[in-house]
């Protein structure tokens, strides 16, 4: 199984240049993925005035992921979002986030690293971007299929060089009460924090995304840069990142702090481990009618299950 690119499912003329994607499990295991992804055939960084300006998102009926699931329409991806810094109302985030200007921006990468570095937005957008069509499964029981643009987080980790003590990666979102009405309100402890084990962070499917459907991210989807970890529940895919810190101990995440009985550190998509308040066996397909079965590791088990060999997935929820 391989994550498809829209290159595979949309007419060629819609794209300036084609590029190849991860070819499959063999490539992943061989560690050949990085070289496959930094080759010469990259798509350009997405941007409004760039040649993709005439790009029309493919109709859902024309475009699918590698399982044959239709891409979620753009208006659903941008109109139905979770971003609690703005509001807990999924259909009102876009409006609340309209005035959010994520520029200038920088991401500070530090902690247990040999080469701490601050990445400007231009730095991040200057990294060769590739497209990944990934399923997104929210812990609330709904899902989308999203064509992201971004790059592997491993690329940045390689640049900053984690020290031997580094075992986890902690991520932090902007929490600006001036621009984000949800942060000014009560009920949660900000900032939004997420974390990955270092080997999860280095997995070639883990990306930092700067765009989707060939445009830069809109505020509601986590502009200007967010994490995407497709085999985990959506809340791991932290938005509007300002800080990445290599640490020795497992970070306590926003959701672990908010509801420790309901949200664990791992949060791997798993239809066999129900949430305390609901089943996780099926999911509602946003932008379409109906439900589908939820798949172990969100359908990426072949590529990621080995990260969890010998672990009790029920205890480590």
Ligand X SMILES: Nc1nc2c(c(=O)[nH]1)N[C@H]1C(S)=C(S)[C@@H](COP(=O)(O)O)O[C@H]1N2
CA distances from 49 to 26, 46, 165, 172, 271 (A): 38, 9, 44, 30, 42
Neighbours of 292 (CB within 10 A): 14
Kindly state the tokens that stand for 60: 């859902």
**Chosen from ligand X, Mo ion, none, partner binding at 148 (C-beta under 5 to 8 Å by type):** none
Q: How far apart are CA 152 and CA 229, in angstroms?
A: 10
Single residue of 43, 143, 173, 268 touching ligand X by CB under 6 A:
173
Is residue 83 a contact residue for ligand X (CB under 6 A)? yes
Is residue 221 a contact residue for ligand X (CB under 6 A)? yes
- Between residues 162 and 230, which has the closer beta carbon with respect to ligand X? 230
Phi-psi region of 201 (alpha: psi -120 to 50; beta: other; left: phi over 0): alpha
Location of structure tokens 């859902």? 60
Instruction: Kindly write out the interface string for residues 123-142 of this chain, putting x where it contacts ligand X by CB under 6 A and - elsewhere.
Output: -------------x-x----
**Chosen from Mo ion, ligand X, none, partner binding at 200 (C-beta under 5 to 8 Å by type):** none
Single residue of 142, 235, 254, 265 touching Mo ion by CB under 5 A:
235
Is residue 232 a contact residue for ligand X (CB under 6 A)? no
Residues 6+ apart with CB under 8 A from 203: 154, 303, 304, 307
Is residue 65 a contact residue for ligand X (CB under 6 A)? no
Question: Could you tell me which of 44, 13, 99 has the C-alpha nearest to residue 214?
Answer: 44
**Quick check: 220 and 77 in contact, CB under 8 A?**
no
Is residue 235 a contact residue for ligand X (CB under 6 A)? yes
Is residue 256 a contact residue for ligand X (CB under 6 A)? no
**Chosen from Mo ion, ligand X, none, partner binding at 298 (C-beta under 5 to 8 Å by type):** none
Q: Which residue is nearest to ligand X (CB)?
A: 234
Q: By the criterion CB under 6 A, which residues form the site for ligand X?
A: 81-85, 136, 138, 173, 192, 221-222, 234-235, 237-240
């Amino acid at each position: 199984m391989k994550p498809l690119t829209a290159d595979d499912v949309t007419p060629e003329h819609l794209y300036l240049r084609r590029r190849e994607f991860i070819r499959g499990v063999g490539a992943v295991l061989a560690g050949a993925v990085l070289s496959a992804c930094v080759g010469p055939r990259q798509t350009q960084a997405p941007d409004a005035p760039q040649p993709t300006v005439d790009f029309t998102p493919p109709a859902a009926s024309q475009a699918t992921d590698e399982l044959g699931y239709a891409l979620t329409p753009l208006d659903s991806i941008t109109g139905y979002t979770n971003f609690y810094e703005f509001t807990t109302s999924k259909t009102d985030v876009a409006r609340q986030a309209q005035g959010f200007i994520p520029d200038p921006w920088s991401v500070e990468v530090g902690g247990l690293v040999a080469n701490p570095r601050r990445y400007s937005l231009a730095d991040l957008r200057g990294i060769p971007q590739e497209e990944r069509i990934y399923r997104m499964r929210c812990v609330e029981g709904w899902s989308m299929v999203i064509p992201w643009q971004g790059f592997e987080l491993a690329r940045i980790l390689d640049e900053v060089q984690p020290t031997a003590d580094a075992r986890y990666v902690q991520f932090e979102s902007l929490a600006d009460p001036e621009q984000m009405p949800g942060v000014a309100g009560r009920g949660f402890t900000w900032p939004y924090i997420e974390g990955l084990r270092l080997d999860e962070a280095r997995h070639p499917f883990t990306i930092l995304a700067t765009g989707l459907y060939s445009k830069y991210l809109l505020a509601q989807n986590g502009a200007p840069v967010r994490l995407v970890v497709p085999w985990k529940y959506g809340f791991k895919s932290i938005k509007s990142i300002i800080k990445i810190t290599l640490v020795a101990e497992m970070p306590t995440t926003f959701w672990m702090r908010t509801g420790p009985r309901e949200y664990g550190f791992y949060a791997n998509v798993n239809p066999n481990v129900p949430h305390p308040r609901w089943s996780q066996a099926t999911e509602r397909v946003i932008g379409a009618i109906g439900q589908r079965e939820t798949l172990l590791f969100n359908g990426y088990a072949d590529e990621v299950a080995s990260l969890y060999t010998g672990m009790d997935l029920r205890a480590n929820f």
